[in-house]
Homo-oligomer: A and B are copies of this chain.
C-alpha cells in the first residue's frame, strides 16, 4: 500500500475528531465502537490513538456507563493543525520535499520555492480552520467520513 500525505494514524485521528465533534455537539458522548465503525477504522488501533489525543487534551473521555469520548468548547475551536502536529509532528509544515535534513533559503533543493508555496498553503488551511469549521459540513450532510 502507498501512503498518503498523512500517516494512517493521523488520518484516523482527524476522521475520529470530526466524527466526535459532530456527534457530541450537544453534550453527548460517543463510544469507541461507534466511532470506529463510523469512520471505518480498526477499533483497538483507534483506541490507542484516542488515548493519546485524550492525554494531550485534544479530546475528552469518561469511563463507565454513559461514558465515551467528547470534545469540549475549547477543543472545538482548535485548528486542525494541532491534531496533525500531535500525531505526525510538524515536518509536513516545515520539512524539505526532497528529504534534505533542513529546508532552508540558503541551501534550497531544486523544488524549494515551488514546494514551499504549496506546503504553506496546506499549513495555512490547517491552521486557520477549526475542528468545528470542518465538521460543519458533516452537520449539513454534505461530507462523509467513510466510503
Residues of A within 8 A of B (CB): 2-8, 11-12, 14-15, 18, 88-89, 91-92, 95-102, 107-112, 114-115, 117-118, 121-122, 125, 129, 134-135, 137-138, 142-147
Contact = CB atoms under 8 A, between A and B. Distances in A.
Q: Can you list the 9 inter-chain pairs with the closest CB atoms, starting with the nearest?
A: A11-B99, A101-B147, A110-B134, A110-B143, A2-B89, A107-B144, A114-B125, A2-B91, A110-B137
B108 A143 contact: yes
A135 to B, nearest CB: 7
A113 to B, nearest CB: 9
B92 A146 contact: no
Contacts of A118: 118, 121-122, 125
Given A4-B92, A89-B2, A118-B122, A144 B97 contact: no
Taken together, the copies of this chain in the complex come to 2
A100 B7 contact: no
Contacts of A135: 110
A49 B95 CA distance: 23
Contacts of A114: 125, 129
Nearest to A119: B5
Contact of A134 (B7, B107, B111, B134): B111
Contacts of A12: 99
Contact of A4 (B99, B102, B147): B99
